[in-house]
Copies of this chain bind each other. A is one copy, B any other.
Amino acid sequence: MRLFRLAALVLALGGTAMTASSDEGMWLLNDPPRQLLKDRHGFNLSDAWLDKAMKANVRLNSGGSGGFVSPDGLLVTNHHVAADSIQKLSTPGRDLYRDGFLAQTRDAELKCPDLELNVLQNITDVTAGVNAAVTTDMTPAQAAAARRAAMAKVEKASLDATGLRSDVVTLYNGGLYHLYRYKKFTDVRLVFAPEKSIAGFGGDVDNFEYPRMNLDVSFFRAYENGQPAKTPDFFRWNPDGPKEGDLVFVTGHPGTTNRLETLAKLKHRRDHTLPYTLTRLRAVEAALHQYGEQGPEEHRQAATAHHSAANARKAFSGQLQGLLDPEVMKQKQQAERDLHAGLVVGSHQHRMIPGLQDAKIHAAPTDYLDAIDRVAALQATLAGFEREHLLIETGHGFTSDLFTVARHLVRLAEELPKPSAERLREYRDSNLDSLKLQVFSPAPVYPPLERVKLQTALTFLAEQLGGAHPSVRLALGGKNPAGRADELVRGSKLADVAERKRLADGGKAAIDASTDPLIRLAKALDPEARRLRTRFETEVEEPERQAYAELARLRFLALGKSVAPDATFTLRLAFGVVKGYDVDGEKLPFHTTLGGAFDRHTKLGGSEPFDLPRRWLDGKAKLDLATPFNFVSTADTIGGNSGSPVLNRAGELVGINFDRNRHGLVRNFVYTEVQARHVAVHSRAVLEALRKLYPAEALVKELIGG
């Protein structure tokens, strides 16, 4: 019994890391699992290895990861991460997303309209300063404002001092605050993209599945002052790739996990947030699918947005299945109970758990229960206005490129006159350049597609809140969603970047004088949107941060930082072993082959999504069909890790992560390595395809030398 409790305590405290029994963890680069790597895999993580992993790693503002692979700014990422830029570089006559692209010379590389790269330079713990700004006598509203101001102040000071993009990152849901400083690149050019049909071979059917045969890679180059950027920190391209049983590392930017959330929070996600999210995604996906069915040009325009919606729908569906799995919830519930029980008896037993010796655990059980209860109570509060908040403030009721621009213009006029620390967080000085890159992006806008997006969003708004809701009536302005969307898009001039700049330069006077219907809509909605945001920040976010900070404190007392924080789209280090797995008695090998793609194409009749590019069909004979194509490992990844370099012990690139399998969809909540795997493109497959099919000799030479 005692042993059971102790084991449970360790589990409940946040994972299995202490027992070194799994490869779980998306680790902070300033607090890496050195001992664990040594114990489990006999690997000595050096400072030099870590430093390169940090400085050769790239975060893309389109929502993924990548890595430098030459000293001249060349970087590799996934095709599906590059897709946003590839789509924006395409035109009615030139569908680079469908057909691919290769710059034979540097002059031919295509400048992306609004892609920003962030390369982490260093990390500083600023927890004490951020927490010191909040005192116990503050109301939640005061605390939220004080914390926001403290964060903005740290960022502003850092930006002024270093010129680097400076973000204060919240870790352990409020347990720690770290300052991340990034070198930023905004001149980024497309070097190579394969055809969509091989990059995403198998489409929605094979997404989150394995075996896979995807060439989900693209190459960009970072430029500075009009010249290829010098990137002395880069990953050497390993031409052989990994073997079964190899230790590999995934360094990248996992977006969101929820493993340290309380049971009440997970139930809220299961019963409220996820059903809402799926309802929304299905509506968006259906609308984009139907738009694309109208003809080839409409299909082209909607292609990447449609893929994004489908991808998100599949990921969130997997999450919901996970939270509806009684086993998963039981595990979480047991963990919460056992942590409490463990804390009660902990003072007598802590000697048996390494690291517990100095924990003042005897003080913890009531604090713990109180924090758990507070998080639960906050979910009931959130349920009362979550949909309104998401629809009106987050903007799900208006999702479209043009409304996003309109809202930013309206808010820029309102926020910029304020001191940076008092603004809505996204308008703080340290974020302004990145924001403007988006707002003034010359990326093409397709009015018919905007109309469909807006009609879909307005209809969803009305479905969720009802036709009599004041915000719905305001949004619809006396029309139905179809008529209103038409009126808004037809009447707006915001597709013209010069008009956006005119309004931004003109400040509040220009916004007040504007008769643009989208500006007027964004303006009319703003009081209610801000009210909902304030409500969210003060009634949910800040009290949650405080409760989670308490839970984090107890966890640190017991285990130090030996449990990694949940993912936050910041750089993390994961590791794992390259190995296959069994499904229903069938042994799935650790890698697939190029030949497998042809087999699947043939078997399924070759129609979408199992069509192969003409270049592949014609060039089949040139290929070594036994070349490993995709491979899997146990390393701990999540969405946002797309495009992450997969490294070997030597820090060389052996693969590019692009997905996880369906067994890994539950990783948001629990890590398992029984069947869950991430999936990566094998470094050898990339070389084979580039050499034999495209042919991209200059690129290959840059990767592995002459």
Contacts and interface: CB of A to CB of B under 8 A. Distances in A.
Contacts of A272: 466
A595 interface: no
Nearest to A662: B482
A254 interface: no
Interface of A: 203-205, 267, 270-272, 274-275, 278-279, 282-283, 285-286, 289-290, 293-296, 313, 317, 320-326, 329, 459, 462-464, 466-468, 476, 478-483, 604-605, 607, 609-610
Contact of A286 (B286, B296, B320, B329): B286
Contacts of A295: 604-605, 610
Given A205-B290, A320-B459, A479 B282 contact: no
A466 B321 contact: no
30 contacts: A204-B290, A205-B294, A267-B468, A270-B467, A271-B467, A271-B468, A275-B462, A275-B463, A278-B283, A279-B463, A282-B282, A285-B286, A286-B286, A286-B313, A289-B289, A295-B604, A296-B604, A296-B605, A296-B607, A320-B462, A321-B480, A321-B481, A321-B482, A324-B462, A324-B467, A324-B476, A324-B481, A325-B479, A326-B478, A326-B480
A515 B479 CA distance: 55
Counted per complex, copies of this chain come to 2
Contacts of A282: 279, 282-283, 286
A203 B290 CA distance: 10
Nearest to A313: B286
Contacts of A480: 321-322, 324-326
Nearest to A478: B326
A483 B584 CA distance: 13
A476 B290 CA distance: 33
A286 B310 CA distance: 10
Nearest to A477: B326
The 3 A-B pairs of least Cβ separation, nearest first, read A275-B463, A271-B466, A325-B480
Given A286-B313, A324-B476, A324-B480, 18 more contacts: A205-B293, A267-B467, A270-B466, A271-B468, A272-B466, A275-B462, A278-B283, A278-B463, A285-B286, A286-B286, A289-B289, A295-B610, A296-B607, A317-B459, A323-B467, A324-B481, A326-B479, A329-B467
Contacts of A464: 275
Q: Is the interface of A mostly helix, strand, loop or mixed?
A: helix
Nearest to A330: B478
A325 B462 CA distance: 11
Contacts of A323: 467
A584 to B, nearest CB: 11
A287 to B, nearest CB: 9
A295 B609 CA distance: 9
Given A324-B476, A325-B483, A459-B321, A293 B466 contact: no
Nearest to A286: B282
Contacts of A286: 282, 285-286, 313
A459 B321 CA distance: 8
A415 B481 CA distance: 47
A605 B481 CA distance: 31
Nearest to A600: B295
A267 B472 CA distance: 14
A530 B127 CA distance: 58
A290 B272 CA distance: 25
Contacts of A605: 295-296
A95 to B, nearest CB: 13
Nearest to A465: B271
Given A271-B466, A271-B467, A286-B286, A293 B325 contact: no
Nearest to A285: B286
Contacts of A205: 290, 293-294
A274 B283 CA distance: 14
A285 B289 CA distance: 11
Nearest to A476: B324
Contacts of A271: 466-468
Contacts of A478: 326
A560 B329 CA distance: 62
Contacts of A293: 203-205, 609
Nearest to A484: B324
A467 B267 CA distance: 8
Contacts of A275: 462-464
A521 to B, nearest CB: 16
A173 to B, nearest CB: 22
A275 to B, nearest CB: 4
Contacts of A322: 480
Nearest to A322: B480
Nearest to A463: B275
A610 B299 CA distance: 13
